[in-house]
Amino acid sequence: MSSELPEWPWWIWPHLLSLDAPIIAVIWQSFFCYIFHVPLPALESIVLGLIVWGIYLADHWLDTRKHSRTVWQDRHKFAARYSKAFLCGALLSLTMGAFLSLWLPERTRLSGGILGLLVALYFVAVHGSRMLSKTAVKELSVALLFAAGVSVSLIAEENIPFPESTAAVVGFGSVCFVNCLMITLWENSERKMARISLALAFIPVALSAVFSPAPFGGCFLLSYACLGILHLFHSRLSLRVLRVLADVSLLSPLFVRCLL
């Protein structure tokens, strides 16, 4: 088994292990709470990271049972090769996250519980009946659920300015949608559709940047610009590099926060 590991370079391992999603989630959760002055106990970040990690491990594990091997990407091949580890990791991570959430505030648990039901419906629709199998519909669902999960701490807070916080969550969801859609279109070699989608997505990203607090606008536009640059040069880059750099583009809060 060890002789097969070099098949994947070291820099793609966070993606293969589904660690990219929880890292991005925790970074944006921290940024949301920092800008809106919401207290963020370490336990909330731990719970979010565990739950998101468990969801993505389970999603990739289920993908290997739905998709044909001919369309598998690196994440599918890795999840299939270590199928038992993915299943055990998903169950353990979700169980630990649910258990630790018992010590979170009641409003946070309630908001997270409602979102959990929506995620369960998504799994049924995608992996059960394939209702969301079409491009864009699935990516939009993932982006909205991810943005909602990251902003649970805001949703549970009573004294948050509604227009600004809503615009910030919508903006983050829009950037996540562009990220997911671009990756899917690159993987399917749909270059023309990628250009059109990228152009249309600028509208919600720009509007969210205008109506949300300035630091969020900087993050949204920076992430969008990075994705645009990646698409400009996507024909010169491998799918592996594109996949990793697309997720790196969502780390914009790290750069913006250094400037504050």
Neighbours of 159 (CB within 10 A): 7
| 28 band by pLDDT with thresholds 50, 70 and 90 | very high
What pLDDT, on the 0 to 100 scale, is given for residue 1?
Answer: 42
Q: What percent of the chain has pLDDT over 90?
A: 67
> Across 4-18, 44-58, 141-155, which has the greatest mean pLDDT?
44-58
The pTM score is 0.92
Is residue 129 pLDDT above 60, yes or no? yes
CA distance between the termini of the chain: 47
At 2 the pLDDT is 44
The number of CA neighbours under 13 Å toward the Cβ of 235 is: 6
Per residue, the 3-state secondary structure of 24-83, as one string, reads: HHHHHHHHHHHHCCCCCCHHHHHHHHHHHHHHHHHHHHHHHHHCCHHHCCHHHHHHHHCH
Q: Which residues lie below 8 Å from residue 156, measured CB to CB, with a gap of 6+?
A: 105, 107, 108, 110, 111
Q: 16-25, 112-121, 148-157: which has the minimum mean pLDDT?
A: 148-157
Q: Specify the DSSP class assigned to residue 249.
A: G
Q: Which of 204, 225, 228, 219 is nearest to 260 (CA)?
A: 219
CA angle 139, 25, 163 (to 5 degrees): 80
86 Cβ contact list (under 8 Å, min separation 6): 57, 58, 60, 61, 79
pLDDT score for 168: 95
- Given this model, what pLDDT does residue 260 score? 78
Domain positions in the chain: 9-259
| Residue found by looking up tokens 């970040």 in the block | 45
Mean pLDDT calculated for residue range 106-125 = 92
pLDDT at residue 146 in the model: 97
Tell me the pLDDT band of 133, cut-offs 50, 70 and 90: low
For residue 193, the model assigns a pLDDT of 82
Question: What is the biggest distance separating any 2 CA atoms in the chain, rounded to whole angstroms?
Answer: 55
List the structure tokens of 30. Answer: 């921290």
The residue among 5 and 149 whose pLDDT is bigger is 149
Burial (0-12, 13-18, 19+ Cβ within 10 Å), 136? middle
| Inter-residue contact 225 to 213 (CB < 8 Å) | no
